[in-house]
Amino acid sequence: MYGQSSSLGSTLMQIRNIIARAAAWAVVALLFQWIFKAQGRKAIQRNGSAVVSYSVPLKACHALGVMLLLILAIAAAWSGEKMYVMSFGTMAFVGFCCSWELYSKRIEFDDREFVIYLAWCKPKRIPWTDVISFKNESSLDWTVRTRSHGKITFFAFLSGLQDLRAAAEKNVRKDSSLVVPLPASGGHSQSLQP
Average pLDDT over residues 72-80: 83
pTM above 0.75, yes or no: no
Residue 176 has pLDDT above 60, yes or no: no
Distance CA 134, CA 189 (A): 10
**Average pLDDT taken over every residue of the chain:** 76
pLDDT of residue 175: 46
Distance CA 128, CA 120 (A): 24
Residue 189 has pLDDT above 50, yes or no: no
Confidence of residue 171 (pLDDT cuts 50, 70, 90): confident
pLDDT of residue 21: 80
Closest to 159 measured CA to CA, from 71, 18, 43 = 43
pLDDT of residue 190: 38
Residues 105-150 have pLDDT tens digits of 888 998 888 899 987 889 989 998 888 888 877 777 788 888 888 8
Closest to 138 measured CA to CA, from 155, 158, 113 = 155
Closest to 88 measured CA to CA, from 77, 79, 101 = 77
Among residues of the chain, what percentage have pLDDT more than 70? 81
